[in-house]
A and B are shown apart, each in its own frame.
Chain A
Amino acid sequence: DGGITQSPKYLFRKEGQNVTLSCEQNLNHDAMYWYRQDPGQGLRLIYYSQIVNDFQKGDIAEGYSVSREKKESFPLTVTSAQKNPTAFYLCASSAGQGNTEAFFGQGTRLTVV
């Protein structure tokens, strides 16, 4: 379904713990993105990557880290430095540098308990 998969769908984390969200795509897309969505809010860019082994900070990168060791994978780590991590996280990919359709994963809902 769209060729981009996020896991898990729901994730619970204790305060002070790091947690990694998975994003995998089989669309052969160069670009991948991570967005955060809070209830009733829009999509805010956390990090993006235009090519393997390279990534850039988005508008709200503090408290998050990413890696892009493989074209297919763009995992997001939510660190203990993120003060308010409870949110819906969406991963997306596109073929080009933001000038072609972005396909979204089904999202991961992270809750801090």
Chain B
Amino acid sequence: GENVEQHPSTLSVQEGDSAVIKCTYSDSASNYFPWYKQELGKRPQLIIDIRSNVGEKKDQRIAVTLNKTAKHFSLHITETQPEDSAVYFCAASGQNFVFGPGTRLSVLP
């Protein structure tokens, strides 16, 4: 089955700096790669996603890149703000969603 790895597990950045989170997956059949943000005690919510026929997607301060050949994809957050502090999960999906272990992002004021 699918296996998703995610790095780093924790990440601290200064407000205004960029943050990058990387994920790798194992199943070449996976074709949908969403990123979720989970604030403490709340449900995960989709922030951006990318499909296998696209290499990069951007939405304001957030971008995702996908390298299907290497089986890895990354989340980029620019101009980080304190409200970006949360746990971020990547996922790879074909028949069902397999999530990475998460990255706890702290944006320091």
A-side residues, CB < 8 A to B, are: 2, 31, 33, 35, 40-45, 48, 50, 56, 58-59, 90, 92, 94, 97-102, 104-107
Distance of A56 Cα from B100 Cα, bound (Å): 20
Residue of B nearest to A2 (CB): B43
A-B CB contact pairs (8 Å), 8 listed: A41-B102, A42-B89, A45-B98, A59-B1, A90-B44, A98-B32, A100-B32, A101-B46
B-side residues, CB < 8 A to A, are: 1, 6, 31-32, 34, 42-46, 49, 51, 89, 91, 93-102, 104
- Contacts beyond the supplied A99-B93, A102-B46: 20 A-B pairs with Cβ under 8 Å: A2-B43, A33-B97, A42-B6, A45-B96, A45-B97, A48-B96, A94-B97, A98-B32, A98-B93, A98-B95, A98-B96, A99-B94, A101-B34, A101-B46, A104-B43, A104-B44, A105-B43, A106-B42, A106-B43, A107-B42
Distance of A35 Cα from B44 Cα, bound (Å): 11
Partner of A97, one of B6, B42, B91, B95: B95
A42 touches B93 (CB 8 A): no
> Known contacts A98-B93, A99-B32, A100-B32: does B42 contact A42 (CB below 8 Å)?
no
Query: Shortest Cβ distance from B72 into chain A, in angstroms?
Result: 17
A43 touches B99 (CB 8 A): yes
Residues of A near B104 (CB, < 8 A) are 40
> Known contacts A99-B31, A101-B34, A106-B42: does B102 contact A42 (CB below 8 Å)?
yes
Residues of B near A35 (CB, < 8 A) are 99
B97 touches A42 (CB 8 A): no
Residues of B near A56 (CB, < 8 A) are 96
A42 touches B99 (CB 8 A): yes
B101 touches A41 (CB 8 A): yes
Residue of B nearest to A90 (CB): B43
Distance of A98 Cα from B96 Cα, bound (Å): 4
Distance of A17 Cα from B91 Cα, bound (Å): 33
